[in-house]
Amino acid sequence: MSTRTRQIETLGDRQRTGRAFGSLEGMPRGGMHLFEGMVVAFTSLHANKLRALLTMLGIIIGTGAVITMIALGSGARKAVEERISQLGADLLFVRAGASRGGPVHMGEGSSVRLTEKDTQAIATECPSVLAVAPELNGSAQAKFGNNNWNTRILGTYPEYEWLRNSPTKYGKYFTHADDNVRRRVCLLGPTVAENLFGKDVNPVGQTIKIRNINFEVLGLLQEKGSEGWRNSDDQIIIPLRTMQKRITGQDNVSSIDVRAVNQAAMDRATIEIESLLRRRHKLQTGQENDFNIMSMTDVTSTLGETTETFTMLLASIALVSLIVGGIGIMNIMLVSVTERTREIGVRKAVGGRSRDILLQFLIESITLAIGGGILGIAAGVGGAYALAYFAGWNTLISPTAVALAFGFSFAVGVFFGFYPARKASRLDPIEALRYE
């Protein structure tokens, strides 16, 4: 009996007793079909379950991270869009800035400011405008007893209530009469009220201090959450002139909120406001505006693009984990090729073709990647729901994100499994049989 024949019989005995990594049983001499390749590949993986699971771990983590990150970004975007849409599509925002002095761009904070007179002129001279509410923003420490809280202070008109969809839960808004006499009254956001008075306490009628000035609490605002660029619950609203004279000492306003008579009149209202402010600010023909006008659609689009960019950044970082998982698959498959060198030699000796060997190892690699992808999808969906439930974050599971993560994990299996599979298929059967 030749040495080669004895090597084949010895290896065949080892495989039948289950000591070899794979199995030759049932493999046709003329090669293997796809189903048979899958059977052999699954048998090989089943023989080393722990190693297979540890190999899939990188894919599981990467896939889960991608789905969770995209779910967080999508949820945040949807929440922002919903809250902004509650304000209405017929809302415009006028802000100071966007003027140019030679080559120097002067944004908000330049010498030209919006004033309360600009606000009143827009309300009275623009036919397409239904209502206006100026805003003057600042920050200060509010105190009640031994409690204090640093928060945003907003000076505005009573129209702010319905123009910005910001009603009270308890109490009422101040009036224009309160504004005219600079009355020291205020409305508290839920976050401010909780930090000053405690949870579920009605603060109406109490007196707080803002910069050591006493203010009577007229109302508690309904909870709204974030509007994309600020937390509407963490603020105190006071009359505009009270804000100007008692808090900031400024006569200007930060911005002007404008509601058009209807959505169809948005463009007309924009043109009317632009023409009026250019005339009031004495801007010459060809001179750039020293203010800018944004619609609610513009704001939603800008915030949506920002959120989407941030989501893609997080997802890209998470994809790195998938690549690392792919490298892990390649490493294990190379080790597997080395361990099974004699088995490969036997398969080629009994009629197995190179493409059969390539197919088997490629199926093993893809199986690891797909298995990791499926478990990763479960982990990602579970993680997104856990964050929503325990942390209160807005999440939105995207079918596109799930498909993307699964497809990428499949691609990782093919890409990182091809080289070890090709290496196995190109082994010389004589040299493989001599391998110890």
Q: What digits encode the pLDDT tens for the residues 76-107?
A: 778 777 766 666 678 899 998 764 443 334 44
Compute the Cα dihedral for 319, 325, 331, 337 and give only its sign: negative
pLDDT digits (tens, 9 = 90+) for 289-335: 989 998 877 777 777 777 778 778 877 877 787 788 888 888 888 88
Rounded CA separation 194/360 (Å):
64
Is residue 430 exposed (0-12), middle (13-18) or buried (19+ Cβ within 10 Å)? exposed
Q: Which residues on adjacent β-strands are paired with residue 294? A: 93
pLDDT tens-digit readout, 331-371:
888 888 888 888 888 878 777 788 888 888 888 888 888 88
Q: Stretch 217-236: mean pLDDT, rounded?
A: 83
What whole-number distance in Å separates Cα of residue 99 and Cα of residue 281? 12
User: Taking the complete model, does pTM exceed 0.85, yes or no?
Assistant: no
Kindly compute the dihedral angle of the four CA atoms of residues 144, 235, 177, 175, in this order, to the nearest 10 degrees.
-110
User: How far is the CA of 170 from the CAs of 173, 201, 205, 208, 217, in angstroms?
Assistant: 10, 10, 10, 16, 10
- Tens digits of residue pLDDT in 138-173: 999 999 999 999 999 999 999 999 898 899 999 999
Distance CA 221, CA 216 (A): 14
| For range 249-256, the mean pLDDT | 91
374, pLDDT greater than 50: yes
Q: Which of 200, 196, 202 is nearest to 140 (CA)?
A: 196
Give the start-to-end residue ranges of the domains of the chain: 3-79+303-434, 113-280
What pLDDT, on the 0 to 100 scale, is given for residue 147? Answer: 94
